[in-house]
Amino acid sequence: MTSEQTIAPPRGRLARLLRFMARNQLIVIGLVMTALMVLVAVVGPEVAPFNPTRINNLNRLKPPGEVHLLGTDEFGRDVLSRLLHGARLSFVIGGLTVLFTTIFGTVIGVVSGYFRSMDGILMRIMDGLMAFPALILAIALIAVLGINQFNVVIALTIVYTPRTARVVRASVLSVAQMEYVEACRALGTSHLSTMFRHILPNCISPLIVQSTFTMGYAILSEAALSFIGAGVPPPLPSWGNMLADSRVYMYQAPWMTIYPGVGISFFVLGLILLGDGIRDYLDPRN
């Protein structure tokens, strides 16, 4: 078999992707939903019609109308503007959590899977962190670190790193038994080069899938932390603290509850559908 036959050309990979997307509509829906929310997070605050923290008591609890398209809250702040700024905040916190989780989880997973002597120690630490419910552990860490955006990222990174580490470790354990890895060892290739140049590139697929799920979980967890007052502090707009503020006015001003709730659900659902689609596409059985 020639190299041209073993390596699919770019057009062949694109055609396979298009055929898969035609068969699996969920990945298309997830991709569109995620892309739309990312666009809102990036562009939304620049086109927001009002200052999201400006108080105007004359416009308290105004229903959706021509001036305030999604209404106002209990302080007269524009709900649409706060929703757009909250989207960017959720995207930034979720993105930073994924970045740090991927870095630390990958290093721990690769080292644990490659050096069997380190496996027991590192994985028991990861198991200990995973023994706590994610939200409870995040609340405890925030209580120690203090309430601000960066500490939320640190807490969520600690919470979700073990999941990424275990996914990477499982892939490394499988790849490390292959013949080309044994050949690298026989040739005297350094451990660092073997791990990160020859083993890690073959573990990227599950890592990508895990990253999409981690971002969805991080956005949901940030909203939950903000909802109970342990996340982003007011007056910064966050979908979670917008929901918390709306509890008292749920019947009087339902738009304060509906729109941030829809935003969270839409973003997280899009990421989960996208992650499921990527996982199915990267499955060698498809």
* pLDDT tens digits along 150-205: 999 999 999 999 999 999 999 888 887 777 777 877 777 787 887 888 788 888 88
Side chain identity, residue 123: M
DSSP per position, the chain: --HHHHS--HHHHHHHHHHHHHH-HHHHHHHHHHHHHHHHHHHHHHH-SS-TT---GGGTTPPS-SSSTT-B-TTS-BHHHHHHHHHHHHHHHHHHHHHHHHHHHHHHHHHHHH-HHHHHHHHHHHHHHHTS-HHHHHHHHHHHH-SSHHHHHHHHHHHHHHHHHHHHHHHHHHHTTSHHHHHHHHTT--HHHIIIIIIGGGGHHHHHHHHHHHHHHHHHHHHHHHHTTSSSPTTS--HHHHHHHHSTTTTT-THHHHHHHHHHHHHHHHHHHHHHHHHHHH-TT-
Q: Confidence class of residue 11 from pLDDT cuts 50, 70 and 90?
A: low
Contact indicator for 202, 175 with CB cutoff of 8 Å: yes
Predicted pLDDT of residue 286: 58
pLDDT in tens, 52-78: 989 988 889 999 988 899 999 999 999
Domains of the chain in sequence order: 25-49+72-282 (1.10.3720.10)
Separation between Cα atoms, residue 49 and residue 70, nearest integer Å:
11
The structure's pTM equals 0.87
> What is the b/e burial string over 67-86, where b = at least 16 CB atoms within 10 angstroms of the residue's CB?
ebebbbbbbbbbbbbbbbbb
Q: Are 89 and 237 within 8 A, CB to CB?
A: yes
Q: Are 150 and 99 in contact (CB under 8 A)?
A: no
Terminal CA-to-CA distance of the chain, rounded, Å? 22
| Confidence class for position 2, pLDDT limits 50, 70, 90 | very low
pLDDT at position 199 is 84
